[in-house]
A and B are shown apart, each in its own frame.
Chain A
């Protein structure tokens, strides 16, 4: 499969289809595996890394799930192509920084991606739309079992799977979900949720993982520990916490409609106004405003059939995606213009916000915000 095919297909996990898709954008599970008695990629000499790559890559390509896959050595991808893959969450930022001695293999549906010689010899991840951590793990587990028949993984009876970083030792599994939580952010409850979640050994991160800012009201929640707990226990625990957060988000939205309908309509109206009329927009501003439009769709202010168009903009307005759609190298300023232009064009199909449904719901409540 060619890179252009990757570009023309939206990843299946990006389509709002799975359970709880209004709030859970995607679920992903990754497993870290290493070969026994071989230096980890960060410590290995180039020749050792290449030897591991040559051993592992054919085994991965042979998997039935990887028929018609996209398989490339990192040195054969341009900086821009790597960045596009990062923006689609198909490879990590760390992996994008790699060159010779590393590779990425992903399936056509972009639901399965395997990095070779990232921090560990193998980083395998499976992505699903909505809340489907169990299903994502099931696929990965199968692939792991198929690979271990051919490759001897570093495993210790006490410590489990051995990884380059001790934070991943044991299951080598990180399960995470990307949550869209505008209700909790607007009602200023998000910090409480973040704190509660970190207290029970789970991590909350921004849009692009570790150390990144929360943009577009998007939050990644994942397990922090990997040793002393079974894979399915971790997933069940995480799923339960996520279900609680989903409920909290629904509650927060309901209270906003009841108590602060004007604030909500103002946010939606402004987001619509700026997105449809602005001529320059940073990616952060775009994400934040698109998030409000997405909330508007959830609440019935915009038609449901425009959801995909909005979801696609989340990814298509990212810097590398914009750069790829243009023929020449763009400056940051030019990117901001192009971003605004693309959004204006795509939003032509989006009718003005219709708050009648919202107003009706607010009217059923006992109290409402006084108008100034």
Chain B
């Protein structure tokens, strides 16, 4: 069996760890296990090591197409190599591959913590936008063109506001 990290030497160290009911296995060669500090009896880096390798596997599964991040040019093989993403847009680009990974890694799949003020405003704007659009459609359907014109102006103004705030 080959080492999961370098994939060239024979694995001599076999690790199994159960974290919150999920079993993870890693096979390592002598050199990689020392490098990762696994032979240190305290073995504290184990969890990270496991997460890192699990990450690589998850990504490989979704790597049928070599997608490229439109913002920074990052690819999935790059992630496999470094374990880090290229930019914030990579999360949208590689969302499929990342979802499984994040699920395995974290307590939940959605953020419930702090929300930056800007994002608060963005949510508010998008809510207002939806309401205006609905009213507009209703006004047009009812052939209430005066109201529709006023609603269109409001939407235009909101659009210019939201480009300043960002999504």
Contact = CB atoms under 8 A, between A and B. Distances in A.
Interface of A: 34, 36-40, 42-43, 119, 141, 144-145, 148-149, 152-162, 164-167, 169-171, 173, 194, 198-201, 203-206, 210-214, 224-231
Contacts of B55: 166
Given A39-B87, A148-B117, A214-B42, A228 B123 contact: no
Contact of A227 (B18, B42, B84, B107): B107
A171 B106 contact: no
Contact of B102 (A38, A204, A227): A227
Contacts of B98: 166
Contact of B20 (A201, A206, A214): A201
A323 to B, nearest CB: 25
Nearest to A170: B111
A225 to B, nearest CB: 4
Given A148-B117, A162-B91, A229 B108 contact: yes
Nearest to A153: B116
Interface in B19-41: 19-20, 36-37, 40
Contacts of A153: 116, 118
Interface stretch (B3-11, B44-52, B132-140, B143-151): B44-52
Given A34-B88, A43-B72, A229 B48 contact: no
17 contacts: A37-B71, A37-B88, A144-B114, A148-B118, A157-B111, A158-B109, A166-B85, A166-B105, A170-B113, A171-B114, A199-B18, A203-B48, A210-B44, A211-B48, A224-B47, A225-B106, A227-B102
Contacts of A169: 91, 102, 106, 111
A34 B71 CA distance: 15
Contacts of A166: 55, 85, 98, 101-102, 105
Contact of B83 (A158, A165, A205): A165
B14 to A, nearest CB: 18
Interface residue SS majority, chain B:
loop
Contacts of A211: 36-37, 44-45, 48
B119 A157 contact: yes
Interface residues of B, number: 47
A213 B87 CA distance: 32
A227 B106 contact: yes
B53 to A, nearest CB: 13
B86 interface: yes
B79 to A, nearest CB: 9
What are the nearest 4 A-B pairs in CB distance? A228-B108, A160-B111, A154-B88, A227-B106
Nearest to B52: A167
Given A152-B166, A228-B110, 11 more contacts: A40-B87, A42-B84, A157-B123, A162-B91, A165-B83, A199-B19, A201-B19, A211-B37, A225-B107, A230-B112, A231-B114
Contacts of A154: 87-88
B44 A204 contact: yes
B42 A37 contact: no
B163 interface: no
A230 B86 contact: no
Contacts of A159: 91, 102, 110-111
Contacts of B101: 166
Contacts of B67: none
Given A43-B74, A166-B102, A166-B105, A171 B82 contact: no
Among the interface residues B36, B74, B78, B118, which one has the most CB atoms of the partner chain A within 10 A? B118
A275 B119 CA distance: 57
A158 B48 CA distance: 24
A201 B101 CA distance: 16
